[in-house]
Every structure is written in structure tokens, then in C-alpha cells.
């Protein structure tokens, strides 16, 4: 039996700021339990919902020297849907109303967490064959495994995998600070290790020292070797390409299932969506105060509101778009400039634009279920889960051809009657607008084709089945068995 430990900063249903949590919380369920014992470790944030926190049981605790203080490390456990989750407790670090997002303080928090996660393993008696780390928050672990922790017999044979969910976030601060927080010797702070452009860089450490590196789609794995997408690390990605793989994300097909979803007013499936899905549109129009018309072309956006997501393209053409017979439903939070932009257009076009500037799992399901199309014109997109949810719910994706969007949305071809969505290649607002208008023409003028397109979208299988096998192969490869 192979033992795998996921260590990450977030996992559904406990803490989520983006798609990372969906991946860490759902992928473990899809490994072959006969051969793999996979467990997950995340911080015990104070902002985890109380009913979930109440289910955790105390396992052990110890004190760890870190930054000249002896610090409490509690370990709690919760077996959720058959998966063992461990929670690292330290109220000083993991308090606050959200898991993280405070820049400098996050660095110390996750350096502490990475160290505490490793130190807790002998205490709970779990010796994994592979520690699977995710993003910069846990990228220090492969470095620690090669350093001091290697001296102990317990850690010597543990291999590491680092999955890059988003290369933009690297955990960067000045060299001295990063050295202080990581407690590593000078040896590690040279440009071939944790130094990048004169700063200290945690993600870089994980990329240099991880036994294998993965990212979340094939196209993104190629893109990050180029300067445009490489976020300053494209040279390193090229140097490590022999150990770099793209493994596409999946989504939890039980959680995201229009046939059983309890958040939506009318359940449906690929066989009856044409008759039933419209009920969800009417209900959402009513709930959001939009003009109620089942035939109106409704486009959804469920997103973090950041530059990554291509929202400036929407801003550029939204006035033109609102001249069309169209409704735009936005659900998202993020940068103030985008939050205010959508609020403004909802005020300007109250019948057509609905700006929902908050986070709600329930509302996200309603939007996927109600909309005819789903807009995701990202500047870059390592994988993207929202378009997979949209496909599953028959909201035809309109995307820019980048990263995982390119790998998961097959462009509609009206001559062959194939494809599952609409895509454009250049980062250009009018190319996007042309695609939205093309989609509208098919929706309004060629209903039969539109329905066949929606049917194909819903029939696509982006569950974890195939990708979980690829991770299993990767674990076999790095452990040599
Ligand atoms: P990223 O991780 O870059 O934010 P993904 O597409 O991989 O993008 O994942 C986004 C996830 O977050 C999806 O599950 C999406 O439904 C969800 N999401 C984003 N914003 C909201 C929101 N305001 N309310 C509910 N869910 C949201
Ligand atoms: C990141 C990426 C997103 C990806 C998610 C999960 O947040 O921005 O594209 O789907 O991680 O891997």
C-alpha cells in the first residue's frame, strides 16, 4: 500500500479561496483505495465553519522551536467522506476571518505550517512515501526534505511532488526575510536555488527540489516555459522540463451534478435539459430582479475578480454587449475596481446585468444551472474549474484559448456539428465580443444546433477518473514501484 500525504493551504469543505481547495478536497476521493492510502493536511483555521470544527478530534500536540520561540503545534483529525484530514493547530497563526491574504504575514504563517506539517508526521506515526505539495504555501517542504529533515531516518526515503496551480503566486520577499523565515543556511540562497532576481522565492525552492513537478493542464505546462506565462521562472521551467508534467484537473461529479443538486429549483440531465433547465433561469431572474424571460440568452460569470480572469475585456465591450438581447449574471469577489465596475453596469442596465459581489456556493450552482453560456476570457488559466462546472450544467463555455481552457473546451464547428463551446485566441475584447455574438446567433437562430452543442457539453467527462490514474502513475514513477 502506497502512502501519500497532500499538504496544502486549503481544501473543501473546510477552507476555500479558489480552485485549489476544490482539487485538494476532491482528488483524494478518486484514488484507488486498494493501493493508495491518501491523507490530507491543512491548517486548522479559525474561519473553518464551526459545525466542521466541532467534528475534529484531538490527536496529539508538541512544541516546535521556530523563530526563537517554542511554539504549540496541535494535530486534529477528521475522517470526511472516507478521507483522513489532519489539521495543524496554532491559534496565533491560523486566526482571522479568512484563511490568508495578508501578504507578508502569510509568508511566516506558511513557513511555520510547512515545518510543523513535517514535524508532526513522526508524532502521528504516518510515514508517507510521497508528500504532495501544492503551490507556494507548501513549496518549502521539498527543500526541507532535502535539508535538515533528511538527517532523520524517518524522512530519508520520502519523495515530494509539487503541483503548481498558479505560477503567479510565488511567496517572494527580500532574501534576508525569506532566509530568516525558512531557517535555512546561506547555501540555499543562491540564484540556482531559492534566490530569484535578488529576492527569496519559496515556490522556486519547491521547483528546484521537488522530485516531480506538475501543473494542472498540458497547455499550461507548455506555456510556463515561455516568458509571457513564465512569471520570471520560465528558464527554470525549461531546465526542469524532464520532471514537469501537465495533469488536467477534474471536478467532483457527485458534488456538481445537475440531476441531484439540491441548490437548484429544477433538476435535469443531458436527456431533458431542453425542457427543464429553463425553470432554473426563470427562478434566478426572479431572485435577482432581472426581467423574466425564459428565451433571453443568459451568460454567467463566476470568478475571482482579478486581472487573471480577463475582466478588462468585458469592461471594454460591456456597453456594446448590453445593446443585445442578452443578460449577464456575475458572481464574484476580488479587486475593488472590478467589483465596482460590475456594480456600475448593474445600475446602468438593471434588466440585463446582475452583479452579485459576494461568495456563495449555493448561488454559484444556481448560475451554472440557469445560464445558457458561461464566459471565461482569461489572460492565463492554469486549468480552470468553472468552465468544467459550466460544461457539466450545460452552460456552454465561451473562453479564451489559454491553459486548461484550451484543453477542455473544444471550439464549436457548425459544419461538422462538433465542439462543446466557443473560443477565441487573441487577448482582444472585440474578438471576444464576436464570439459572444456568434454564440447568440446559434442560440436564437439555430435552436436545434444549440441544443446539440449543449448536449455534447454536458456529456463530456471531466471527472477525476482519468487524472487520478495519472497521479498514481507519477507516484509509481518517483518511488520506483
Ligand atoms: P481560480 O482557482 O483561479 O479562482 P477555478 O476556475 O479553478 O479558478 O476555480 C474557481 C472556483 O471558485 C470554482 O469552484 C468557482 O465556482 C468558485 N468561485 C469563484 N468565485 C465564487 C463566488 N463568488 N462564489 C462561489 N463560488 C465561487
Ligand atoms: C488556480 C488556477 C486555476 C486552477 C486552480 C486549481 O487557482 O488559477 O486555473 O483551476 O488553481 O488547480
Residue 150 is predicted with a pLDDT of 67
What number is the average pLDDT over the span 358-383?
Answer: 98
334 lines ligand 1 (CB under 6 A): no
356 lines ligand 1 (CB under 6 A): no
Q: Which atom of ligand 1 is nearest to the CA of 249?
A: 7
380 dihedral zone (left: phi>0; alpha: psi -120 to 50; beta) = beta
Classified as helix, coil or strand, 172 is strand
Give the pLDDT band of residue 235 (cuts 50, 70, 90).
Answer: very high
Tell me the pairing of strands 69-80 and 57-66.
antiparallel
The pTM for the full model equals: 0.97
Which residue CA neighbors atom 7 of ligand 2 most closely?
19
Which residue CA neighbors atom 11 of ligand 1 most closely?
19
Taking a C-beta distance cutoff of 8 angstroms, is the pair 199, 177 a contact? no
Boundaries of every domain in the chain: 2-250+465-479, 273-460
Integer angstrom CA distances of residue 291 from 55, 342, 344, 352: 44, 18, 18, 7
What number is the average pLDDT over the span 250-270?
Answer: 97
Helix (H) or strand (E) run with residue 115 in it? helix 104-124
Q: Tell me how far the alpha carbon of residue 118 lies from the centroid of ligand 2, in angstroms.
A: 25
Q: Tell me how far the alpha carbon of residue 434 lies from the centroid of ligand 1, in angstroms.
A: 25
Which residue CA neighbors atom 11 of ligand 2 most closely?
165
CATH 3.40.50.2000 fits 273-460, yes or no: yes
Q: Tell me how far the alpha carbon of residue 166 lies from the centroid of ligand 2, in angstroms.
A: 6
Classified as helix, coil or strand, 214 is strand
Q: Which atom of ligand 1 is nearest to the CA of 356?
A: 23
Taking a C-beta distance cutoff of 8 angstroms, is the pair 129, 160 a contact? no
CATH fit for domain 2-250+465-479, picks 3.20.20.105, 3.20.20.140, 3.40.50.1860, 3.40.50.2000: 3.40.50.2000
Q: Answer whether residue 391 shows pLDDT above 90.
A: yes
Give the pLDDT band of residue 153 (cuts 50, 70, 90).
Answer: confident
Taking residue 86's Cβ as centre, other Cβ atoms within 10 Å add up to 24
Q: Do domains 2-250+465-479 and 273-460 have the same CATH topology?
A: yes
How far apart are alpha carbons 389 and 409 in whole angstroms?
Answer: 12
Q: Tell me how far the alpha carbon of residue 305 lies from the centroid of ligand 1, in angstroms.
A: 10
- Which ligand lies nearest to the CA atom of residue 18 in the structure? 1
Over pLDDT 90: what percentage of the chain?
A: 98
Q: Which atom of ligand 2 is nearest to the CA of 308?
A: 8
Amino acid at each position: 500500500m502506497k502512502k501519500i500525504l497532500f499538504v496544502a493551504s486549503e481544501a473543501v469543505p473546510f477552507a476555500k479561496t479558489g480552485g485549489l481547495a476544490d482539487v485538494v478536497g476532491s482528488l483524494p476521493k478518486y484514488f484507488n483505495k486498494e493501493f493508495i492510502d491518501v491523507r490530507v493536511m491543512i491548517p486548522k483555521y479559525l474561519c473553518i465553519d464551526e459545525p466542521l470544527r466541532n467534528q475534529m478530534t484531538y490527536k496529539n500536540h508538541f512544541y516546535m522551536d521556530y523563530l526563537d520561540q517554542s511554539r504549540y503545534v496541535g494535530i486534529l483529525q477528521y475522517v470526511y467522506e472516507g478521507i483522513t484530514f489532519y489539521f495543524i493547530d496554532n491559534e496565533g497563526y491560523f486566526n482571522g476571518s479568512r484563511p490568508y491574504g495578508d501578504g507578508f504575514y502569510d509568508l511566516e504563517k506558511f513557513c511555520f505550517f510547512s515545518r510543523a506539517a513535517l514535524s508532526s508526521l513522526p508524532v502521528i506515526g504516518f510515514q508517507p512515501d510521497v508528500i504532495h505539495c501544492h503551490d507556494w504555501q507548501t513549496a518549502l517542504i521539498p527543500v526541507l526534505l532535502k535539508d535538515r529533515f533528511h538527517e532523520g531516518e524517518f524522512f530519508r526515503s520520502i519523495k515530494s511532488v509539487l503541483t503548481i496551480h498558479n505560477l503567479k503566486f510565488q511567496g517572494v520577499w527580500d532574501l534576508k526575510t525569506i532566509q530568516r523565515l525558512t531557517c535555512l543556511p546561506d547555501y540555499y540562497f543562491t540564484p540556482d536555488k531559492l534566490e530569484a532576481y535578488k529576492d527569496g522565492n519559496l515556490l522556486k525552492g519547491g521547483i528546484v527540489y521537488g522530485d516531480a513537478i506538475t501543473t494542472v493542464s498540458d497547455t499550461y505546462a507548455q506555456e510556463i516555459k515561455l516568458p509571457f506565462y513564465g512569471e520570471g521562472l520560465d528558464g527554470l521551467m525549461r531546465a526542469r522540463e524532464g520532471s514537469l508534467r501537465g495533469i488536467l484537473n477534474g471536478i467532483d461529479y457527485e458534488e456538481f451534478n445537475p440531476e441531484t443538486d439540491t441548490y437548484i429549483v429544477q433538476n435535469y440531465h443531458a436527456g431533458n435539459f431542453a425542457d427543464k433547465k429553463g425553470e432554473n433561469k426563470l427562478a434566478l431572474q426572479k431572485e435577482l430582479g432581472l426581467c423574466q424571460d425564459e428565451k433571453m440568452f443568459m451568460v454567467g460569470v463566476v470568478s475571482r475578480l482579478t486581472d487573471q480572469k480577463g475582466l478588462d475585456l468585458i469592461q471594454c465591450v460591456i456597453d456594446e454587449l448590453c445593446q443585445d438581447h442578452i443578460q449577464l449574471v456575475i458572481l464574484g469577489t476580488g479587486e475593488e475596481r472590478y467589483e465596482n465596475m460590475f456594480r456600475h453596469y448593474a445600475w446602468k442596465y438593471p434588466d440585463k446585468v446582475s452583479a452579485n459581489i459576494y461568495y456563495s456556493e449555493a448561488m454559484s450552482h444556481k448560475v451554472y444551472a440557469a445560464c445558457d453560456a458561461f464566459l471565461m476570457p482569461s489572460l492565463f488559466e492554469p486549468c480552470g474549474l468553472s468552465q468544467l462546472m459550466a460544461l457539466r450544467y450545460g452552460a456552454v463555455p465561451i473562453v479564451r484559448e489559454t491553459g486548461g481552457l484550451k484543453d477542455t473546451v473544444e471550439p464549436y464547428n457548425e459544419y461538422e456539428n462538433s465542439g462543446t463551446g466557443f473560443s477565441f485566441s487573441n487577448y482582444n475584447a472585440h474578438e471576444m465580443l464576436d464570439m459572444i455574438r456568434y454564440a447568440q446567433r446559434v442560440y436564437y437562430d439555430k435552436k436545434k444546433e444549440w441544443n446539440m452543442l449543449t448536449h455534447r457539453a454536458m456529456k463530456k467527462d471531466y471527472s477525476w477518473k482519468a487524472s487520478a490514474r495519472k497521479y498514481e502513475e507519477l507516484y509509481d514513477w518517483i518511488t520506483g514501484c
